[in-house]
Every structure is written in C-alpha cells, then in structure tokens.
C-alpha cells in the first residue's frame, strides 16, 4: 500500500539537503536509539518504585564521614569499581578537578565524596555499611541508573536548588569524621603562593575553596564545621551494571550538562597533547564521581572536564593549583512537575507520568520511514535523536521539507522526490486525462506455437487468426488489419461459421488484478461489423475454452465447445439463443479437436491424447463410442482429423500416420444380439516423419497434410495418393495449420509464429512474422520509422513501422533483453542475459563490437544524447560507462557507477549528456555525474531541475502518479515519455497500456487504458515523431503498434465540418 506525504519546510534548503545526504548513515543510529529509549522507559518505571528508598539513602549520605588522609592519597573515584573490569577504569579515572585560576569559585561551589588511596583498593564497592553514627553509604553516579535517579531528584525538587556561589548558611551544617585540625593541616600543605582551591569538608564531602591555604577565610570556614547526628540507615538501593550507558536516560552530555567552561585549567596550558589527553575527564565515558546529598546543591559537571591524573609527577602544590571550577546543575524545569508527580504517593499521578513517558517513547521509537519523513538538520541531529530529560517532546519536526519534496511508499519503503523549482504551488497541480489517445493499428505475430486450427479465410478476403487477446482480420491484398478486442484474456480457439462471416472465439479464464479467476466464455461476433452477437457460457466453462466448432449440416445453428477442465466438459449450444442444449464429461485426457459431421449434426467427433471418440447427440444427451485401434499401434496423440469426400474420417497422429476410420456393423455372431456398431481403422498410411499437426480438405476433394519434423506439405488425392508436395524453409518452423486461400493459394501457420502465403508452384513467403518466446528488449530508431526488438528466443528483429513488415532478423548466441540505437541510427547496442552486450550495424546486421561486464544479465543499455557515451545497467548493481569513438565502432571503458544496493532497472541521460538518473530493484532513485568521473551525486536536491533527454525511469517526481494503489513495486514494467513531453505511456503487469498526462505528479492520476495484451506488458516506446507507440507483451510474444492521435484536434475539425464528433 502506498502512502503519499507532502512535506514542508521554511528552513534553508541547503541544510535540508545535507540531512538527506546522511539519512542512510543515521539508520543504524536510529536503531540503537530505539533500544536505548525502550531501556529508559523501563528504568523510569523502576525508579518510580525505588524513589522513596533513594531519598532515604541520600539522607543517610548526609552523615557520611570523611577520613582525613594525606592529600596525596585523595582519590575522586566512581562507583564503577563494583565490577572487576571497571576497577581498572576507576584507577585510571581517578582525577581531580582543574580549573582556570581566574575563575571565581566560592566555598560551596562543588562537593565530592572521597576516600583514601590506601583504603580504596581494599574496600568493597558492592556493599553498603550501615550502623551507628558512622554508618557509610556510597551513592555512586557512575552508572546510568543512579545518575538518572539523581537527575530525577534534582528535577523533582526533592533536593533544594541554591545559587552556586553561595556559602553555607546557619541551617547548612557541615559534617565530617576527621578533626578540623587535621583538615587544616592538610590544607596548609599548599604553597603560600598558590591560588588554587583547597578542600574543605562539608555536608556533601569536600568543598574546594579558591584562595590561599592559610587565608583567614579558609581558617574561619574550617572552624565553623559542625557534626549533626546521622539519620537511621535505609535499605540499600539495587545496583546496576556500570557498563550501562549514561545517555540512555539522560541523553547526551551536551544536553544534560549544558553549562561548560570556555577556559582551560592553568595546569594543562602549555602541556603536550599526550599529557592533556591523559588529564581529560569526560562524563560520557562514565569516569563518574561519588555524590553525597545534603542541604547543599548538587554540583554539575560539564561534558568534558580536564582533571590531572593522580599518578602524575606533579607536586601537591601543583595539584591544588590545577583544580578547576565546575559548573553547577542546569535545572531542567520543563519536566520538573512531571518528575515530581512520578514520585508522588498517588497511584494515579504515577500512572499518568509513566503513560506520558510511554507516549514520548512511542514518538521517538517511530519507524525508520517516519523518521525519514520528518528529519532535522545535521546541526540538531544529536539533540533531536536523543532529547534531554527536560525536553517536552521530539524536535525532529522542526525542519520539515516544506514545498520541496514529495514522498511515496512502495512495499513500506519511502521514496523521496524533490519538487522542481518551476512548480510554484504543488497543491495547484491538476492531473487530467490527456487529449491524446491511442488506437491499435497493427499487431505483429501469430499464435502458432501452441494452438491449432486457428487460421481461416473469410468471405471478405481477410485472413482471421489470433494472438494474445486480439483476433486479427488481415486483408492480404490491401495490407490492412482490423481487430476484434472484446476478449478479456488470451484467445485459445477459433471457428468460422459456414456463412464465412460469423466467427466464434473462446478464451482462457485468466485472473484479474487482484488474482481472482475470471470466467472464460465464447463470443460469437460479426466479422464485417466487429459487433458481438452472442456471449456463450459465462460461468459454465472452467479454466478456459480449448476447442469449438460450428455445425455444418444445419447452417451453423449449433456450436460445440470443449473446455479445459479436468473432465473436459463437452457441451452443445444454440447459437441464436445462447442456451445450452447438452453437456457431458468427455475424458480426463486432453482434448485437442472437436468437429460436427458435415452431413449430420447429431454426430460429433473429438480427438486428443491417445483417443478418438465418436459422439451421438440426441436432445439433451450425449453418448460416445471409442475408436478401436485393433492391431494398429495406438499413437500418443491424435492431433487433427478431417472428413473426406466419402464421409470417412481421416486422422493425423504423432507417429506421422494418416489413419482412415470407418463404421463397421455390429458383430452379432461373435458378440451376440447386444453387440453395437463400432468405429475401427480401415487404412493406415505413413505420411510424414514426426507429428502431423494439420489436415485440410480442399474444394477439389484432395487432402493436404502438414508435417512437423519434416516441415513438408503434401497434397493427397481422395484415394490418398501423393499429388504434390513441398517443404517449408527451416527458418519458419514446422507446419501448425493449413487453410485454403483464393485460387490455388495456400495459407500456412507455423509453430514459429509465422503466417506464410504461396502455392506449390511458386513457393511460400511470410506475410506475418513474430517472436517465439518472451519479449523484453525494445528500441525505436532516432530518425526513421524503424524499431528493434529482442527476446528470449535469441532473435533480434528490425521492423518497418510504416510498412508493418520485418526488415531483417539475426540470431544471437544468447537471449537479448535490452537495446538502444545510437543517436546517428547507424548502430544499435543489444544487452544479453549473460552480461555480454553487442553492437550491431543496422545496415549489414554484422556484430562490430562485443564486450562483457560481469556475469549477471543486463537490464538496460542507453546511449547519451551526444553519442559519446554508452551506459550499461546490469543486475550486478553497477552501471558501466563506455566512451564511443571512431564512428560508433570503438568502445572503451570510461568508468563505473557504484552505489546501488540492488539490480539496475532503468536509466536516463540528461540533455547535456553529463548526468544519469537511474532506478534499481529496491526502488532507489540515484543521480550520477558521468562527466565528473561517474560520481554518485549524494545531494539529490540539486538534480530536481535537471532536464532529461528521455524519461524511462519508472520512479521520479514527474511520473510517480502513474503508480496504482496497492502496488508492490513491480506492477509497472516500463514507462516512456513522448518526445514532445506531453504524455507518458506505461506498461503494467496487468496486460494494460496506459496513457497519462506529462508530468504526472499527483497520486491516482487519470489515464486512458488500453487492453489487448494477454500477458504482462514488458516495454513501451514512442517512435521518433511521436506518431506511434510500440508495446510488447511478455509471454504472449505480441508486438502492438498504436497510432496516437489528438482527440481534441479531431473533434474540432469534425465540428467545423459539421460531421459527428466521434473518436476513430
């Protein structure tokens, strides 16, 4: 199912284009993001339950004691030591904060919990010790879960937020476990000239105070420390893996910690890059610090802070000088209320908060197609894909592609097409039916490969036969065709009324667009007016109509029909009323032929696989008698029969024999009184080698037989003596059917889909020819009324569209699948199914060049408008570019276009011969700069205004309206824009040819639709002057030539002349 999305944007188009360029690279990131967001929602729900416990733990943390140690042993470490693999990381990440000495930081600017170096390696970080006033609880922010919890606490106002530069007030009691003297002693180790901050314990651990170690401010601050009692311990919080990502919940560091220092710390200035890199501290790498909550505000780290390593050779004085100012927490007020509700005691409020977060998650976890539909600029890519906790919603809709692109979906895959700048208002575009229309002018080909008894001469002098869904009436002398087009699927059989005017044709069942079976039927129609006189049997036949025949003795009053069901139902119909007279199951074996006796309409004969049945029709009943072979070998097939002048039945079989059948009286003496008459072989004659496909009774009483393997036509006297014979050239194939023409002329249909006309004395020449296997390749000459076709039958055929004849044909070693003329028209390139391609001279038919690109089949070859390049599209996903020189006879590899992820289906050149537009099997639209070295143009937006010399790509802004609803991406096989750029012709998978207005840039665009093909239409092309359209069927091997006319022009001319305004 296709969905159509009109996108909008008011931003700079160049920024939007940059986004489009990197959409493919974002798909992996989007997949990871979805997983991270899902994990975030799970953890949010977990902390809804754990929040009260976390609050108690933070209260317990207010009374944690600090061990007074040598400052050289101070270690600011994270909780990541809980895992063995993280312990080493903790050692390497033990750092201290450095800052610009010129930055002002008061006593309460930042606080850390620390432990001595001597104790750090032996103390277990996985346990929490409780009890007494000295109970210690480690609250780590080294994992994403715990840092998320703290972030939620901050945003939920459960911890007081204060100004960063404030000093502890009376209510902010500072506590520690070591004495003030010890701490002061440690502080006085600082050089008297050092201006770096010094550590002071407070309720949150150590406060780094900028200033001199022996300053009065420092002494006063230390002396003011008090020791409040510790609250009772709470149950420890569940621990989570230290490897879990920080930004799963909190987003990227840039979003969670927006305040960053712009000045580097003095200690790192002037250092080597190696030293600087060792001192870099990054929150995102999870080298986190231990926080301790109290009445003081929690500090907030920047995304990247530089801290000297504890293992460096700096003096302790240098370390104090290098300590940096750290930014405070940026309170995310957007989600403050929501997070507070999440921790409320009300179940309803908790549920509402969770549902709201699920809604956010569902928005962010949209499908890739939706993310592609609305994408942000590259500058906001990170923020849009991983929003901060305070974000009120996704921001990817900020930069919509307003009035710049249109998007369609094929099998769920989004296809973006940019709107040309000359389309001022897309909404104002109107898709209308084109004034141009098509009329079937000529049908090339004949269905002889698998049908028989399908060639007759009418009273009008026209030859009637069928191919695909069309019954053709061809006038030999006038060289004109008329067409009966009322069948909905392939015609399988044909019979002519004794008056030589009325015709009966039967068709196969087929399937409709949705795969539902269609009902087969028989049409009786008038060959002079092409009007349907009677439709027989809708709903009565199964699978199709295999054979039929008019009665002769009663002037064609009845029609006998055999369908293609398993029982091969035999039925008799009244032609005038269209009513069924009788019906019976004939046999489970295939039935090939049925005929009425010319002297008695109550006698009917059927023949087929290993049988011949003689039927008697009386009223509504049919009874049969099987022909008895007796001492003669039973053939595998009896493929044809005829009544001779004596009334005997002559059959032709797969053994090459002509058998004469006669009625014998009942053998009462042997079989008794119940014996009945039988039909037995009277005479056997070896006539041909191989099959006999056709027998024909001439007006003179002679019989003609046509051989399969030997391709001979023999004329037999009534006594079956050879009178004349001739052989059909091998090129035309075995004889399929024979019809008597005017005078001594004969009409021959062959298994190679050719119709021959001639006589024994003058020989035979083709009047109709066609391909014998599935058609795909089609090209029209750039300046003459010629077109070329190629097929799986390994034939390349050049046709005269004005003369409706085959100009020449050539046999290839492999099957041809695509072709294109050089702009000069002197040569034509043909792509084969093995990866080879040939260049043929259009005059001499000689192969002048041949090359191989890969081992996959080639799907398209196309010369550039200036004739200097040839592009070859292959199923190996590449487009090979060749330069053309020396009068189109020398080809050298120029480059290869690499970038498609599926096989190439279509391509077109720009009018300046510098660029290529291509489609692939996975519905990609890519553009290539051939002149610039076959480079892929990743900025597809810049190609929206490029003019194309031809338009055969089935995907693109100018033609996407031709796709029907519910299309699976393979429903359109070919497309071609007319040279005057007024209409576009489409070949679909449902046997139809469509004519749309060009450009066709709106979904569900109207079109003129034309039937006739009995298989998927594989290709369409306009002739050089747009006077005709050529279409090709696939399996039906038919080639249709449509005349294009302007109905408005004809109507205006008819109106001015006073004639009726009707289309031709």
Tens of pLDDT, residues 261-289: 333 333 333 333 333 333 333 333 333 33
Q: How confident is residue 293, by pLDDT bands cut at 50, 70 and 90?
A: very low
- In this structure, what token pair is assigned to residue 788? 């070329």
**Which pLDDT belongs to residue 80?**
34
**Which pLDDT belongs to residue 15?**
66
For residue range 320-355, list pLDDT tens digits in order. Answer: 333 333 333 333 333 333 333 333 333 433 344 445
**Which pLDDT belongs to residue 64?**
58
Element (H, E) at 495: strand 491-496
Q: Average pLDDT of 10-26?
A: 62
**Which pLDDT belongs to residue 127?**
37
**Which pLDDT belongs to residue 866?**
96
Q: What is the pTM of this model?
A: 0.65
**Which pLDDT belongs to residue 674?**
59
**Which pLDDT belongs to residue 56?**
74
In the chain the domains, ranked by start, together with CATH numbers, are 5-33+344-418 (no CATH), 62-331 (no CATH), 490-597 (2.130.10.10), 775-1057 (2.130.10.10)
Q: Average pLDDT of 150-170?
A: 40
β-pairing verdict for 1008-1010 and 993-997: antiparallel
Would the pLDDT of 29 be above 80?
Answer: no
Would the pLDDT of 290 be above 50?
Answer: no
Q: How confident is residue 164, by pLDDT bands cut at 50, 70 and 90?
A: very low
User: Sheet harboring 579-585: ordered strands across?
Assistant: 545-550, 558-563, 569-574, 579-585
Q: How confident is residue 831, by pLDDT bands cut at 50, 70 and 90?
A: very high
Q: What is the CA radius of gyration of the chain?
A: 45
**Which pLDDT belongs to residue 675?**
62
Helix, strand, coil in percent for the chain, rounding step 5: 20, 35, 45
**Which pLDDT belongs to residue 51?**
74
For residue range 221-267, list pLDDT tens digits in order. Answer: 444 444 444 443 333 333 333 333 333 333 333 333 333 333 333 33
For residue range 720-752, list pLDDT tens digits in order. Answer: 999 999 999 999 999 999 999 988 899 999 999
Would the pLDDT of 85 be above 60?
Answer: no
**Which pLDDT belongs to residue 558?**
97
Q: How confident is residue 36, by pLDDT bands cut at 50, 70 and 90?
A: confident
Q: Residue 5 forms beta bridges with which residues?
A: 407
**Which pLDDT belongs to residue 667?**
61
Decide: helix, strand or coil at residue 472. strand
**Which pLDDT belongs to residue 192?**
38
Residue with tokens 């041909």: 688
**Which pLDDT belongs to residue 39?**
78
**Which pLDDT belongs to residue 337?**
35
Q: How confident is residue 475, by pLDDT bands cut at 50, 70 and 90?
A: very high
Would the pLDDT of 386 be above 60?
Answer: no
Would the pLDDT of 493 be above 90?
Answer: yes
**Which pLDDT belongs to residue 45?**
75
**Which pLDDT belongs to residue 703?**
95
More confident residue, 289 or 862: 862
Distance CA 703, CA 718 (A): 7
Q: For the chain, give the percent of residues with pLDDT over 70.
A: 63
End-to-end CA distance of the chain: 37
User: Sheet harboring 816-821: ordered strands across?
Assistant: 816-821, 827-832, 836-841, 847-852
Taking Cα atoms as reference points, which of 1023, 1004, 830, 980 lies closest to residue 2?
A: 1004
**Which pLDDT belongs to residue 1052?**
61
Mean pLDDT estimate for the chain: 73
Q: For the chain, give the percent of residues with pLDDT over 90.
A: 53
Sign, CA dihedral 248-254-257-258, equals negative
Give burial (CB, 10 Å; 0-12/13-18/19+) of 273: exposed
Q: Average pLDDT of 794-810?
A: 96
For residue range 601-611, list pLDDT tens digits in order. Answer: 999 999 999 99
Distance CA 203, CA 1022 (A): 87
Element (H, E) at 1054: helix 1047-1057
**Which pLDDT belongs to residue 825?**
96
Q: Average pLDDT of 209-214?
A: 38
More confident residue, 107 or 529: 529
For residue range 934-991, list pLDDT tens digits in order. Answer: 999 999 999 999 999 999 999 999 999 999 988 888 999 999 999 999 999 999 999 9
Give CA torsion, residues 875, 879, 882, 887, to 10 deg: 70
Q: Average pLDDT of 1028-1043?
A: 97
Would the pLDDT of 584 be above 70?
Answer: yes
Distance CA 618, CA 615 (A): 10
Sign, CA dihedral 1057-1060-1063-1064, equals negative
Query: For the chain, what is the total number of helices (H) and then of strands (E)?
Result: 17, 62
Q: Residue 402 forms beta bridges with which residues?
A: 8
**Which pLDDT belongs to residue 769?**
95
**Which pLDDT belongs to residue 624?**
92
Give the lowest-confidence range in 302-316, 456-470, 748-762.
302-316
């Amino acid at each position: 199912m296709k969905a159509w999305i009109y996108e909008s944007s008011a931003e700079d188009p160049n920024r939007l284009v940059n986004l489009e360029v990197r959409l493919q690279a974002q798909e992996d990131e989007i997949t990871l993001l979805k997983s991270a967001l899902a994990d975030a929602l799970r953890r949010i729900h977990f902390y809804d339950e754990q929040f009260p416990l976390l609050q108690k733990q933070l209260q317990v943390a207010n009374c944690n004691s600090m061990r007074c140690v040598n400052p050289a042993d101070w270690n600011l470490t994270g909780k990541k030591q809980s895992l063995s693999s993280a312990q080493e990381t903790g050692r390497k990440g033990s750092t201290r904060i450095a800052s610009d000495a010129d930055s002002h930081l008061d006593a309460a600017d930042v606080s850390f919990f620390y432990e001595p170096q001597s104790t750090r390696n032996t103390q277990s970080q996985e346990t929490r010790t409780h009890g007494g006033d000295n109970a210690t609880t480690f609250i780590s922010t080294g994992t994403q879960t715990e840092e998320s919890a703290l972030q939620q606490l901050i945003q939920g106002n459960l911890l007081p937020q204060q100004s960063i530069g404030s000093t502890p007030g009376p209510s902010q009691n500072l506590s520690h476990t070591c004495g003030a003297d010890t701490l002061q002693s440690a502080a006085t180790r600082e050089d008297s000239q050092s201006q770096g901050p010094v550590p002071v314990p407070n309720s949150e651990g150590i406060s780094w105070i900028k200033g001199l170690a022996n300053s009065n401010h420092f002494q006063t601050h230390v002396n003011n420390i008090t020791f409040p009692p510790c609250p009772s311990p709470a149950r420890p919080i569940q621990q989570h893996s230290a490897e879990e990502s920080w930004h799963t919940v909190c987003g990227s560091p840039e979003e969670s910690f927006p305040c960053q220092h712009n000045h580097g710390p003095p200690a790192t200035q002037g250092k080597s890059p190696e030293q600087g890199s060792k001192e870099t501290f990054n929150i995102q790498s999870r080298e986190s610090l231990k926080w301790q909550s109290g009445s003081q505000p929690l500090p907030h780290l920047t995304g990247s802070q530089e801290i000297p390593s504890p293992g460096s050779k700096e003096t302790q004085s240098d370390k104090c000088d290098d300590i940096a100012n750290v930014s405070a927490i940026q309170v995310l007020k957007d989600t403050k209320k929501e997070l507070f509700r999440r921790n409320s005691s009300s179940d309803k409020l908790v549920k509402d908060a969770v549902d709201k977060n699920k809604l956010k998650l569902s928005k962010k976890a949209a499908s890739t197609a939706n993310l592609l539909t609305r994408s942000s600029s590259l500058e906001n890519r990170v923020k849009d894909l991983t929003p901060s906790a305070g974000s009120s919603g996704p921001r990817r809709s900020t930069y919509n592609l307003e009035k710049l692109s249109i998007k369609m979906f094929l099998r769920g895959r989004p296809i973006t097409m940019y709107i040309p700048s000359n389309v001022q208002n897309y909404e104002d575009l109107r898709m209308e039916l084109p004034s141009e229309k098509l009329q079937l002018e000529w049908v090339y080909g004949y269905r002889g490969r698998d049908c028989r008894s399908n060639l007759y001469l009418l009273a009008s002098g026209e030859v009637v036969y069928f191919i695909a869904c069309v019954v053709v009436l061809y006038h030999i002398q006038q060289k004109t065709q008329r067409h009966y087009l009322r069948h909905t699927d392939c015609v399988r059989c044909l019979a002519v009324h004794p008056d030589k005017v009325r015709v009966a044709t039967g068709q196969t069942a087929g399937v409709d667009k949705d795969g539902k079976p269609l009902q087969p039927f028989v049409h009786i129609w008038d060959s002079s007016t092409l009007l349907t006189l009677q439709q027989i049997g809708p709903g009565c036949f199964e699978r199709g109509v295999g054979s039929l025949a008019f009665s002769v003795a009663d002037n064609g009053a009845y029609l006998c029909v055999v369908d293609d069901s398993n029982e091969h139902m035999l039925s008799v119909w009244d032609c005038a009323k269209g009513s069924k007279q009788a019906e019976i199951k004939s046999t489970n074996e295939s039935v090939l032929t049925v005929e009425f006796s010319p002297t008695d309409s109550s006698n009917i004969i059927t023949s087929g696989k290993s049988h011949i049945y003689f039927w008697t029709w009386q009223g509504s009943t049919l009874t049969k008698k099987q022909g008895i072979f007796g001492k003669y070998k039973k053939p595998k097939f009896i493929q044809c029969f005829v009544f001779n002048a004596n009334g005997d039945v002559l059959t032709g079989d797969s053994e090459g024999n002509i058998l004469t059948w006669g009625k014998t009286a009942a053998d009462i003496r042997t079989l008794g009184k119940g014996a009945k008459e039988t039909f037995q072989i009277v005479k056997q004659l070896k006539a041909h080698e191989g099959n006999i496909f056709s027998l024909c009774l001439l007006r003179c009483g002679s019989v003609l037989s046509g051989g399969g393997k030997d391709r001979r036509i023999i004329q037999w006297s009534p006594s079956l003596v050879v009178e004349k014979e001739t052989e059909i050239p091998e090129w035309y194939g075995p004889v399929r059917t024979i019809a008597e023409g005017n005078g001594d002329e004969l009409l021959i249909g062959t298994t190679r889909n050719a119709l021959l006309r001639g006589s024994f004395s003058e020989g035979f020449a083709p009047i109709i020819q066609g391909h014998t296997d599935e058609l795909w390749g089609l090209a029209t000459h750039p300046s003459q009324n010629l077109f070329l076709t190629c097929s799986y039958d390994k034939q390349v055929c050049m046709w005269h569209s004005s003369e409706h004849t085959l100009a020449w044909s050539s046999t290839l070693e492999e099957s041809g699948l695509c072709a294109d003329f050089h702009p000069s028209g002197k040569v034509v390139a043909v792509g084969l199914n093995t990866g080879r391609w040939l260049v043929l001279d259009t005059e001499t038919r000689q192969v002048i060049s041949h090359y191989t690109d890969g081992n996959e089949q080639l799907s398209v070859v196309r010369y550039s408008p200036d004739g200097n390049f040839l592009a070859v599209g292959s199923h190996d996903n590449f487009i090979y570019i060749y330069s053309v020189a020396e009068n189109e006879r020398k080809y050298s590899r120029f480059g290869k276009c690499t970038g498609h992820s599926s096989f190439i289906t279509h391509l077109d050149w720009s009018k300046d011969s510098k660029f290529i537009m291509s489609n692939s099997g996975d519905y990609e639209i890519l553009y290539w700069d051939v002149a610039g070295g076959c480079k892929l143009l990743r900025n597809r937006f810049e190609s929206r205004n490029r003019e194309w010399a031809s338009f055969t790509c089935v995907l693109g802004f100018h033609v996407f309206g031709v796709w029907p609803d519910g299309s699976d991406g393979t429903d359109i096989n070919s497309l071609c824009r007319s040279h005057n750029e007024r209409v576009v012709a489409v070949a679909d998978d449902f046997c139809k040819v469509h004519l749309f207005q060009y450009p066709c840039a709106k979904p569900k665009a109207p079109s003129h639709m034309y039937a006739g093909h009995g298989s998927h239409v594989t290709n369409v092309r306009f002739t050089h002057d747009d006077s005709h359209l050529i279409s090709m069927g696939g399996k039906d091997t038919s080639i249709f030539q449509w005349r294009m006319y302007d109905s408005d022009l004809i109507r205006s001319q008819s109106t001015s002349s006073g004639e009726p305004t009707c289309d031709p």
